[in-house]
Homo-oligomer: A and B are copies of this chain.
């Protein structure tokens, strides 16, 4: 059906083995032979058969990136960064000067072969089942690496299942990298300093003079949610404000609508609060919208803060105070780790710093 290695070999008048060697480039081949083979490849528009290659070599060039919500820029940025690392390593050889005499519609996508991996994004939608399912699918494909991004679901059974899958993947040669979730065995981990960042954020508010601070948290069973909330509470406790906290916390999803609704609920519980901290920037946007709809000004009446520092946060109106996570850098690093291009951090775990970005949406309380 399609053109195979053998076809190329025949046209180039060499053996299939030689063609294979030229294409993988990891074996000495005479320059003249090499040129002849490359020409045949071009003429025939040969494209390697991935499955066959993977079967024979017992490795594939697939890299899976699992995300909780593909529609959320938080994940989009990380995933995009991971993918950006997948290109060919340095200046590749091959390809060559021969600009085909070409018929209509010359190929353009030259690289018949290269060091490139196929980084693919898998959207779990936050569903544990789908997460496991994708892991199985990737295991089936004998993926070269798997990158799990974002907070993990804390349900014990699920955590155990993921850990088990990760071990099995690692055992069969698939590199497992975690980006933004707590470490597990057999995986290289890039954790985010969610707790520390959250603590510093609330301390910032405290320093400004706020005492009644509402908190809009994410889904209760996610590590990210828990850590950020814990950081918030730490700061509150240190300031001797621990007791009211529970009352001023509302859980929701990591989206704008939840922030809107939660704000209404918070206002109902305590009309006198002077600040609201959101578990992420998207929620914070909803918080701002709700506040405005209630005729409250930001930050004059109520200060608002988010988390992540997504692109839109800096130029929101007013500019949002938040905690910056270097998502792009983290993604790049996760990609390198997945390819084995970067040495493992000591202990297999590295923490990504979170930086407070104090902007216009927070100010001293009115009173």
Could you list which residues of chain A lie within 8 angstroms of chain B, going by C-beta atoms?
1-2, 45, 47-55, 58, 60-62, 64, 69-73, 76-77, 79-80, 83-84, 104-109, 111-112, 116, 118-123, 125, 128-129, 132-142, 157-158, 160-161, 163-165, 168, 172-173, 255-257, 260, 285-286, 289, 292-293, 311-312, 315-317
Contacts and interface: CB of A to CB of B under 8 A. Distances in A.
A221 B136 CA distance: 40
Given A105-B160, A289-B316, 8 more contacts: A1-B172, A47-B140, A70-B76, A84-B125, A105-B164, A108-B158, A111-B136, A289-B317
Nearest to A131: B109
Contacts of A121: 70, 79, 120-123
| Copies of the chain in the assembly | 2
Contacts of A286: 315
Contacts of A311: 255-256
Nearest to A72: B76
Contacts of A160: 104-106
A55 B51 contact: yes
A47 B317 contact: no
26 contacts: A49-B55, A49-B142, A51-B142, A64-B120, A70-B70, A70-B121, A71-B80, A79-B121, A80-B123, A105-B160, A107-B164, A108-B128, A108-B132, A108-B157, A108-B161, A109-B135, A109-B136, A111-B136, A116-B137, A118-B120, A118-B137, A119-B122, A256-B311, A256-B312, A257-B315, A289-B315
Nearest to A168: B45
A246 to B, nearest CB: 28
Contact of A48 (B77, B112, B123, B140): B140
Nearest to A3: B172
A64 B255 CA distance: 27
B141 A51 contact: yes
Nearest to A124: B83
Given A51-B55, A76-B70, A132 B109 contact: yes
Contact of A120 (B120, B163, B257): B120
Contacts of A158: 108
Contacts of A69: 76
Contact of A139 (B47, B71, B137, B292): B47
A121 to B, nearest CB: 4
A72 B79 CA distance: 12
A69 B64 CA distance: 18
A289 B61 CA distance: 44
B141 A118 contact: yes
B51 A256 contact: no
Contact of A133 (B116, B120, B138, B157): B116
Contacts of A112: 136
B136 A47 contact: yes
A161 to B, nearest CB: 4
